[in-house]
Amino acid sequence: MPTLHLTDAATRTLRHLEHGRRADPARLRRVRRALERLAADPRHPGLRSHRYPALPGHPRQRAWTSYVDQGAGAWRLHWTWGPADTDLAGRDHEDGPVLTVLLIGPHL
């Protein structure tokens, strides 16, 4: 089971869904459920994970995308295997693989 790491952008999105003018408890619940599934098994059929050709802002990384929900205004988790920042790059990964959630948001 991979260890999840969220970038600052992904953490900000979760905070906005929790608090503030645009708080959305229903979407927050769906995002958290998708994150739990991703941490348990990135190949979970409900996530429909697949390679993403070119993720804006992360052109050199091999990114993947997974479903949070479907339909109008669908949201996705965009992630990559391994640490995406330097503070984790030197970390010993004896607990297993690291999966970094780069972005959480509307379908791109």
- From first CA to last CA, the distance across the chain in angstroms is 27
- 63 in a structural domain: no
- 95 in a structural domain: no
- 66 in a structural domain: no
- 14 in a structural domain: yes
Q: Is 46 exposed, middle or buried (0-12, 13-18, 19+ CB in 10 A)?
A: exposed
Q: Name the E strands within 20-82.
A: 50-52, 63-67, 75-81
- 47 in a structural domain: yes
Q: What is the number of domains present in the chain?
A: 1
Print the SS3 string covering 86-105.
HHHHCCCCCCCCEEEEEEEE
Beta bridge partners of 75: 106
Beta bridge partners of 105: 76
Q: Which domain holds residue 44?
A: 1-54
- 107 in a structural domain: no
pTM assigned to the model: 0.84
The per-residue pLDDT string of the chain (108 residues; one tens digit each, 9 = 90 and over) reads: 788 999 999 999 999 999 978 899 999 999 999 999 999 999 999 999 999 887 777 777 788 999 999 888 899 999 998 875 544 444 445 567 899 999 999 987
